[in-house]
Structure 1
Amino acid sequence: MKKKLYAVLFSFALLGLSACDNGFEELNKDPNAVTADRFNPAFLFTTAQLRTAKGDESGTLYYGSTFVQQFASLSNVGIFDFHGDKYVYHKGNNEVLWKKTFDAEGGPAKLLADALQLSKDKPEYHNLHQMVRIWRTLVFSRLTDMYGDVPYSEAGQGYYQQNYTPKYDTQKDIYYNMLSELEDATSKLDANQPLFAAADIAYNGAIAKWKKLGYSLMLRLGMRLSKVEPATAEAWVKKAYAGGVFSSVDDNLFIKGTDATGAQQELVNGQSNILSVSTRTPGKIAKTFFDFLKNNNDPRLKHTVAVYTDPTNVATKNTDPAVQKGLPNGLDRITLPKDPSYDPTNPAQEHQYSGINRDVYAKLDGPRMFITYGETQLLLAEAAVRGWITGDAAQLYRNGVTGAMKNLAKYDASATISDAEITAYLTAHPFVGTADKEKAYEQINTQYWAATFLNGYESFANVRRSGYPKLTPINYPDNETGGRFPGRLRYPDDEPVLNRDHYNSTVARQGTDNYITKVWWDK
Structure 2
Amino acid sequence: MTDMNTKSNHSMRYILLALLLLISACSKFGDLNTDPTKSSKINPENQLIFAQLWFSGDLSTQERTNSIVLMPMMQQLGAAYYARVGGMYIKDITRMWVMWENSYQNDVVNIVDAVERTNGVASKTNLNAICRIMKVYTFARLTDLYGDIPYSQAGSAFYTQVKRPVYDQQQDIYNNFLEELKAASAQLDPAKDKVSNEIFYKGDIAAWKKFANSLRIRLALRLVKRDAEKAKKEIQEAFNADGGVMISNADNCMTKHMDIQNNYSDLRGNSVSAAINQQSAMPKLVTTFLDQLKNTNDPRINYIPRCYKQNVPLKPFEREDITAQVRASVLGLVGSKPGKYVYEDWVGPVTVKLANGANYNAVNGDLKCEMNTCFMRNNAPFLHLTYAEVELLLADASVRLGLTLGADAATHYQKGVEAAMKQLSLYPGGPVIPDAEIADFLTNNPLQPGTELKQINNQLWIALMLNGPELFANWRRSGYPELVATPNNESTSLTIPRRFQYPLSEKEQNKVNVQAAIDRIGEDDWLKRVWWDKE
Instruction: Classify the TM-score, shorter chain.
Output: 0.7 to 0.9
What secondary structure sits across from 2:454 in the alignment? helix
Question: Does residue 417 of structure 1 match 2:433?
Answer: yes
Question: Does residue 158 of structure 1 match 2:163?
Answer: no
- The answer for the alignment partner of 1:57 in structure 2 is 62
Superposed, 1:159-238 pairs within 5 Å as 159-198=158-197, 200-238=198-236
Counterpart Cα distance in 2 of 1:476 and 1:229: 37
Q: Which has the larger radius of gyration?
A: 1
Letter in 1 for 2:370: G
Counterpart Cα distance in 2 of 1:420 and 1:191: 39
- The answer for the alignment partner of 2:250 in structure 1 is 250
Tell me how far 1:92 sits from its aligned partner: 4.0
- The answer for the alignment partner of 1:507 in structure 2 is 518
What secondary structure sits across from 2:524 in the alignment? coil
Superposed, 1:192-341 pairs within 5 Å as 192-198=191-197, 200-243=198-241, 244-260=244-260, 265-277=266-278, 280-311=280-311, 312-313=314-315, 314-320=318-324, 321-322=327-328, 323-332=332-341, 336-337=343-344, 339=345
Counterpart Cα distance in 1 of 2:268 and 2:40: 30
Tell me how far 1:303 sits from its aligned partner: 2.2
Letter in 2 for 1:194: D
- The answer for the alignment partner of 1:118 in structure 2 is 117
- Pairwise CA RMSD of aligned residues? 2.0
TM-score (norm 2): 0.84
Q: 1:226-258: CA deviations, max 9, x gaps? A: 112111111111111112211111111111212
Letter in 2 for 1:44: Q
Number of paired residues?
A: 472
- The answer for the alignment partner of 2:77 in structure 1 is 71
Tell me how far 1:261 sits from its aligned partner: 5.7
Q: 1:373-419: CA deviations, max 9, x gaps? A: 00100110111123122421111000000110011011134411121
Tell me how far 1:521 sits from its aligned partner: 0.8
Quick one: structure 1 residues 82 and 213, their matched pair in 2 at CA, closer, same or farther if it must change by over 3 Å? farther
Tell me how far 1:467 sits from its aligned partner: 0.7
Tell me how far 1:82 sits from its aligned partner: 5.0
Q: Is the 8 A contact 1:82 1:283 kept in 2?
A: no
- The answer for the alignment partner of 1:404 in structure 2 is 420
- The answer for the alignment partner of 1:90 in structure 2 is 92
- The answer for the alignment partner of 1:27 in structure 2 is none
Q: Is the 8 A contact 1:147 1:491 kept in 2?
A: yes
Q: 1:156-190: CA deviations, max 9, x gaps? A: 01222222211111111111110110011111100
Letter in 1 for 2:398: A
Counterpart Cα distance in 2 of 1:60 and 1:332: 18
Q: Is the 8 A contact 1:62 1:83 kept in 2?
A: yes
Letter in 2 for 1:292: Q
What secondary structure sits across from 1:267 in the alignment? coil
Counterpart Cα distance in 2 of 1:86 and 1:351: 23
Quick one: structure 1 residues 494 and 304, their matched pair in 2 at CA, closer, same or farther if it must change by over 3 Å? same
Question: Does residue 40 of structure 1 match 2:76?
Answer: no
Quick one: structure 1 residues 261 and 373, their matched pair in 2 at CA, closer, same or farther if it must change by over 3 Å? same
Quick one: structure 1 residues 414 and 466, their matched pair in 2 at CA, closer, same or farther if it must change by over 3 Å? closer
Q: Is the 8 A contact 1:310 1:348 kept in 2?
A: no
What secondary structure sits across from 1:473 in the alignment? coil
Quick one: structure 1 residues 39 and 414, their matched pair in 2 at CA, closer, same or farther if it must change by over 3 Å? closer
Unaligned runs of 5+ in 2: 1-35, 351-360
Counterpart Cα distance in 2 of 1:187 and 1:236: 15
Letter in 2 for 1:213: F
What secondary structure sits across from 2:307 in the alignment? strand
Counterpart Cα distance in 2 of 1:165 and 1:262: 33
Question: Does residue 444 of structure 1 match 2:444?
Answer: no
Report percent identity of matched pairs: 33
Q: Is the 8 A contact 2:336 2:368 kept in 1?
A: yes
Tell me how far 1:66 sits from its aligned partner: 1.5
- The answer for the alignment partner of 1:19 in structure 2 is none
Question: Does residue 354 of structure 1 match 2:369?
Answer: yes
Quick one: structure 1 residues 408 and 73, their matched pair in 2 at CA, closer, same or farther if it must change by over 3 Å? same
Tell me how far 1:266 sits from its aligned partner: 2.6
Q: 1:182-223: CA deviations, max 9, x gaps? A: 01111110000012112x111000000000000110000011
- The answer for the alignment partner of 2:25 in structure 1 is none
Quick one: structure 1 residues 81 and 478, their matched pair in 2 at CA, closer, same or farther if it must change by over 3 Å? closer
Tell me how far 1:127 sits from its aligned partner: 0.3
Tell me how far 1:496 sits from its aligned partner: 1.0
Quick one: structure 1 residues 121 and 57, their matched pair in 2 at CA, closer, same or farther if it must change by over 3 Å? same
TM-score (norm 1): 0.86
Q: 1:253-285: CA deviations, max 9, x gaps? A: 1112123466883311111112223x6114211
What secondary structure sits across from 1:266 in the alignment? coil
Tell me how far 1:365 sits from its aligned partner: 1.4
Letter in 2 for 1:173: D
Letter in 1 for 2:322: N
- The answer for the alignment partner of 1:7 in structure 2 is none
Q: Is the 8 A contact 2:307 2:366 kept in 1?
A: yes
Quick one: structure 1 residues 316 and 231, their matched pair in 2 at CA, closer, same or farther if it must change by over 3 Å? same
- The answer for the alignment partner of 2:355 in structure 1 is none
What secondary structure sits across from 1:226 in the alignment? helix
Q: 1:339-375: CA deviations, max 9, x gaps? A: 3x644787533443111211x1111112111111001
Tell me how far 1:88 sits from its aligned partner: 1.6
Q: Is the 8 A contact 1:309 1:348 kept in 2?
A: no
Q: Greater CA deviation, 495-504 or 88-97? A: 88-97
Counterpart Cα distance in 2 of 1:261 and 1:165: 37
- The answer for the alignment partner of 1:22 in structure 2 is none
Displaced runs of 4 or more, over 6 A = none
Q: Greater CA deviation, 172-181 or 158-167? A: 158-167
Letter in 2 for 1:116: V
Quick one: structure 1 residues 274 and 238, their matched pair in 2 at CA, closer, same or farther if it must change by over 3 Å? same
Unaligned runs of 5+ in 1: 1-32
Counterpart Cα distance in 1 of 2:481 and 2:97: 27
Q: Is the 8 A contact 2:188 2:205 kept in 1?
A: yes
Question: Does residue 463 of structure 1 match 2:483?
Answer: no
